[in-house]
Amino acid sequence: MAAAGIKLHPSCRVRQEGFGLLFYDCKGPRLLFAATGTLLPADFFGTVRARDEFPDGTSESQKPALQKFVTQLLEKGFLREQ
Partner 1 sequence: MSNKYVEMGMRSPVNLTWEVTLACNLRCNHCLSSSGEKACNELSTAEALDLVEQLHTAGVFQVNFGGGEPFIRPDFEEILAACHVRGIMTCISTNGTLLTPELVARLASNPLVAIQVSLDGARRETCDAVRGDGVFDAAVEAVKLLAATKIPASINTVLTTHNASEIPAMHELARSLGVSLRVSRFRPSGRGADNWESLRPTPTQLIAFSDWLAKSGDVRTGDSFFSLTTQERQGLGLNLCGAAKLTCCVSPTGHMYPCAFLQSDRFEAGDLRTSSFQEIWDTSEIYESFRNLRIHSCEECTRFDQCHGGCPAVAWHLKNDINGGDPECLERCVTSIADNRLELAA
Q: Provide the minimum distance between the beta carbon of 54 and partner 1 in the complex, in angstroms, as a whole number.
A: 24
Instruction: Enumerate binding residues for partner 1 (CB under 8 A).
Output: 10, 13, 15-19, 22, 24, 26-27, 29, 31, 33, 35
The three-class DSSP label of residue 75 is helix
Tell me the C-alpha to C-alpha distance, in Å, between residue 21 and each of 1, 3, 7, 30, 48: 30, 24, 15, 14, 18
DSSP-derived letter for residue 74 is H
Q: Provide the minimum distance between the beta carbon of 20 and partner 1 in the complex, in angstroms, as a whole number.
A: 9
Nearer to partner 1, 24 or 69 (CB): 24
Q: Provide the minimum distance between the beta carbon of 14 and partner 1 in the complex, in angstroms, as a whole number.
A: 9
